[in-house]
Structure 1
Amino acid sequence: MKSGFITAADVAREAGVSRSAVSRTFTPGASVSKDVRERILRAAEKLGYRVNRLAQGLQMAQSNLVGVVAANLTSPFNTALLDGISAALFKRGLQCMLLNAEAARDDIGNLVNQVLEYRVRAVIILSGAPPEEIIEACLRNDVRLILINRGTLPGNADKIDTDDLTGGRLAAERMLQDGRRHVAIMRSGNGSVSQKRRVESFVTRMNQADVKITDWMRGPNSFETGCEAARILLADKSIDGAFCATDLIALGFLNTARFELGIQVPRDFSIIGFDNIPETEWPSHRLTTVSHPVKAFIEAILNCLDDDRQLSEGALNFTIPVELIERGTTAAHDA
């Protein structure tokens, strides 16, 4: 019995046909007679042959791979987005090639080479994946780019952005309803475009209402960052509210405020996050947050992939709508 993978040459010998006939049989739209096709399919089933899609893709202009460049893979929102992307691509007969920008930060050249050498159908770059070199290399090589929450960049790249400005304003309006007069704002130190937009919109509305702001911008996007922020910022007893640019930071802040510092949320203190990750619904948290649904991102990504325009003909732009989800960390839900 043959060891290793069954090849197209093995199928050709079994069916008594040429290697090229096997290739045409498994290439959509290629011409091959009905009799030859049936012989090849019987031989392939007998031998257990499977098409090498990677090799097939490398012989063509593009493969069935879609590259996804991401960082901060432990983020619940990124995890949910990656899960949705990979599932949606699989249903389309495409495969997700995940490239960890964080791990490759010291070897960006290798990451760029992997993106281009596999002749991917498109590259999706998530928010928080920083290397601009990848974007530039893809644009130079006419590789279709789909940018998630990356802000305005040159070149014909499709762009999908959260309506962060509306989200920040909704959070601010809710904080004002609670009558808060000194609000802390927390974001990670990586300076992501999306977090910056949310915070700036929130601050604009707070300034209009003459609410005092204390700004915190340091550390990674993590639960621990929120814990540290709470311990330091809440030494100022005048602070009576917190807007966190991500739910991860908000949950760390909330738990430290409640269980370590003994602050009554939401009676004396309001907390609002952003992302609506699954953990925000837990009974121990019930965090009020701004939602930008993963489903809407997936639909926009698929619309980009389905678009058959040439790159030179322009790009697509989608704005993901947001909604304030009220739970137990704003005063209206005080039991």
Structure 2
Amino acid sequence: MSDRRRFVSAADVARRAGVSRSAVSRAFTPGAQVSATARTRILAAAEELGYRVNRLAQTLHQARSDLVGVVGGNLGNPYISAQLDALSAGLHARGLQCLLMNSAQGGAADLARLLDYRVRTVVLLSGAAPDDLIRLCARNGARMVLINRPAPPKGTLADLIQADSTQGGRLAAERLIAAGCRNVAVVISGSRTSAKTERAEAFEAEMARHGIPVTRWAEGPNRYETGCAAARALLTRPGLDGVFGVTDELALGVLNTARAELGRAVPGDLSVIGFDDAPVSGWASHRLTTIRQSLDALTRATLEAVDRPAEAASTCEHIPVTLVERDSVA
């Protein structure tokens, strides 16, 4: 007989407890009927053998799974990391399980494996997944939560959660204008997701309204290193005195490169403002002035969407943004 290690099965527990396989199943199903004597023997056998219920198999018999698919890209981004931490904790508190897929590591076909697990909802973080996956979820009737993404095709079972990117871009421009900045740039990266583009365009429009031209840097991925590269390129331009990074990660790359590598005083020589209010932005070494999209509000709205019935009407919730003053703008 093979001694290959395997998971302990319900049949193993049934044999040890001297009961039927169905009795084991009922003992681990809330509300199912099984005698007190049998339940005691079954639980003792399960404890002795180290048995764990096969939750994936169990979901096949439920009206709705307790698995929530979460698709995220650039998981090292400090705001997305904090978002995942808060979301996974909230799901756990509701008795739900988080099944995470990294959109940076596969195409739509790989990400579509979420549907193989019959997840109750697919949560798509900002700019995280290709449109092909959204169309596939729609064809399969899978409910979605779209965060900082455009509205899907009409009739799609999707809840939209959108931070006010346009207002955020305006607030960033107004703050730099108030600081006296007249030679400015916006760093957007090459990813050009809808939310990032809206922030940049609103910033540029507000600056144009005041007659201030804007240089746009739109290269590289949405990463800290891209902000560093942007600073090296942009700060060769004479007189540049203000930069808006459309994410905190980009802004922090600009800020730290300007200070530590290029010898610029921030905010003395250069004002830098970000967008997100990731936890790292408030660290004493950074003190980044930024536009906050409330992590608490975003998490609350996401969890409320996950809680909705599978066939509930789609909703759209707007998350307000606010200016957080710290020390990186004059």
Asked whether the two chains share a fold, i.e. TM above 0.5, the reply is: yes
Alignment correspondent of 2:98: 96
Q: Is the 8 A contact 1:12 1:18 kept in 2?
A: yes
Structure 2 match to 1:151:
150
Distance apart, 1:14 and its partner CA: 2.9
Which position in structure 1 is the counterpart of 2:115?
116
Structure 1 counterpart of 2:100, one-letter code: L
Aligned partner letter, 2:314: A
Shift of residue 296, structure 1, vs aligned partner: 1.7
3-state secondary structure, aligned to 1:102? helix
Q: Distance in 2 between matches of 1:181 and 1:81?
A: 34
> 1:321: Cα distance to partner?
2.2
| Aligned residue number for residue 21 of structure 1 | 23
Residue matched to 1:177: 178
Q: What is the CA distance between 1:35 and its match in structure 2?
A: 4.2
Q: How does 1:124-163 map to 2 (within 5 A)?
A: 124-154=123-153, 155-163=156-164
In 2, Cα distance between the equivalents of 1:272 and 1:52? Answer: 49
2 CA distance for matches of 1:252 and 1:86?
28
Structure 1 residue 186: deviation in Å?
0.8
Instruction: Specify the alignment match of 2:200 in structure 1.
Output: 199
Q: Which amino acid aligns with 1:153?
A: P
User: Is residue 56 of structure 2 the alignment partner of residue 57 of structure 1?
Assistant: no
Alignment CA distance shift 1:40-1:175 (3 Å) = same
State the distance in 1 between where 2:110 and 2:281 align: 37
Partner residue, 2:241:
240
Aligned partners of 1:75, 1:102: CA distance in 2, in Å?
12
Structure 1 residue identity aligned to 2:225: E
Distance 1:284 1:13 in 2: 61
| Match of residue 278 from structure 1 | 279
**Could you tell me how far apart the structure 2 residues matched to 1:92 and 1:185 are?**
40
Partner of 1:322: 321
Deviation at residue 256 of structure 1 after TM alignment: 2.2
Structure 2 unaligned blocks of 5 or more: none
Deviations 1:252-272 (A, max 9, x none): 111222233332321232110
User: Residue 69 of structure 1: SS of its match in structure 2?
Assistant: strand
Structure 1 unmatched ranges of 5 or more: none
Paired residue type of 2:223: S
Question: TM-score of the superposition, structure 2-length normalised?
Answer: 0.92
In the aligned structure 2, how far is the partner of 1:2 from the partner of 1:46? 19
Aligned 8 A contact 1:271 1:287 in 2 = yes
- TM-score of the pair, normalised by structure 1: 0.91
- Cα deviations across residues 180-199 of structure 1 (Å, max 9, x unaligned)? 11210111101111111111
More displaced, 143-152 or 12-21? Answer: 12-21
CA contact under 8 A between 1:9 and 1:19: conserved in structure 2? yes
Equivalent residue for 1:222?
Answer: 223
Contact 1:53–1:63, Cα closer than 8 Å, also in 2 = no
Counterpart Cα distance in 1 of 2:15 and 2:74: 49
1:47 aligned onto 2:46: no
RMSD of aligned residue pairs (Cα, Å):
2.0
Distance 1:27 1:224, change over 3 A: same
Is the Cα contact below 8 Å between 1:72 and 1:128 reproduced in 2? Answer: no
- Corresponding letter in the other structure for 2:189: S
| AA of the residue aligned to 1:182 | N
Q: Partners in 1 of 2:14 and 2:329 — Cα distance?
A: 69
Provide the C-alpha distance between the structure 2 equivalents of 1:115 and 1:293, rounded to a whole number of angstroms.
28
Q: Which amino acid aligns with 1:289?
A: T
| C-alpha distance in structure 1 between counterparts of 2:290 and 2:208, whole Å | 21
Q: String of CA shifts for 1:182-233, please: whole Å, max 9, x gaps.
A: 2101111011111111112212211211112111111111222112212222
For residue 190 of structure 2, what is the aligned residue in structure 1?
189
Cα–Cα, structure 1 residues 234 and 118, in superposed 2: closer, same or farther, change >3 Å?
same
CA distance in 2, matches of 1:259, 1:7: 58
